[in-house]
Structure 1
Amino acid sequence: MHDTLAKRRVFAMLDADGDGVVSRHEYLARTKHVVAATGRTEDDPLVVAARVAGERAWASMDANGEGRMTFDAYAAWAGAEAFDSVCEPTLGALFDLADTDADGTLTRSEFIALREALGNPAGNARAAFEALDTDGDGRVSREQYLASIREHVTGEGSPMGDALYGDGKAAP
Structure 2
Amino acid sequence: MADSPQHRIFAMLDVDGDGAITHQEYLARVDRVAAAVGRDAGDPVVAASRAAHEAVFRDMDADGDGRVTFEEYRAWVGHEAFERSCRPALGSLFDLADTDADGHLDRAAFTRLRTAAGNAETDAGAAFDALDTDHDGLIDRDAYLTGIRDFVTTGSSPMAAAYGAGPALGTRS
**Do these two structures clear the TM 0.5 threshold for a shared fold by scoring above it?**
yes
Q: Which residue of 1 is the match for residue 15 of structure 2?
A: 16
1:138 Cα deviation from its structure 2 partner: 0.4
The aligned amino acid for 1:66 is D
1:26 Cα deviation from its structure 2 partner: 0.7
Give the TM-score taking structure 2 as reference length: 0.91
- Judge conservation of contact 2:21–2:68 (CA < 8 Å) in 1: yes
Give runs of aligned pairs for residues 1-172 of structure 1, distance below 5 A: 5-164=4-163, 166=164
1:162 Cα deviation from its structure 2 partner: 3.7
Give the TM-score taking structure 1 as reference length: 0.91
Partner Cα distance (1:20, 1:158) in 2 = 26
- Judge conservation of contact 2:62–2:72 (CA < 8 Å) in 1: no
- Aligned alpha-carbon RMSD (Å): 1.8
Structure 1 gap ranges (5+): none
* SS in structure 1 at match of 2:4: helix
Partner Cα distance (1:11, 1:121) in 2 = 15
* SS in structure 2 at match of 1:69: strand
Partner Cα distance (1:69, 1:156) in 2 = 21
Partner Cα distance (1:101, 1:163) in 2 = 27
CA distances 1:61-92 after superposition (whole Å, capped 9, x unpaired): 11321010111110000000000010000000
Moved more, 90-99 or 150-159: 150-159
The aligned amino acid for 1:104 is G
CA 1:17–1:126 in 2, change beyond 3 Å: closer, same or farther? same
* SS in structure 2 at match of 1:106: strand
Partner Cα distance (1:93, 1:161) in 2 = 22
Structure 2 gap ranges (5+): none
CA distances 1:82-124 after superposition (whole Å, capped 9, x unpaired): 0001000000001000001110011000000000001000000
Partner Cα distance (1:151, 1:31) in 2 = 22
CA distances 1:24-74 after superposition (whole Å, capped 9, x unpaired): 111111001001101111121101100110111111111321010111110
- Judge conservation of contact 2:4–2:155 (CA < 8 Å) in 1: no
Aligned length: 167
Partner Cα distance (1:66, 1:162) in 2 = 35
1:159 Cα deviation from its structure 2 partner: 2.0
1:156 Cα deviation from its structure 2 partner: 4.8
Stretches of 4+ moved more than 3 A in 1?
A: none
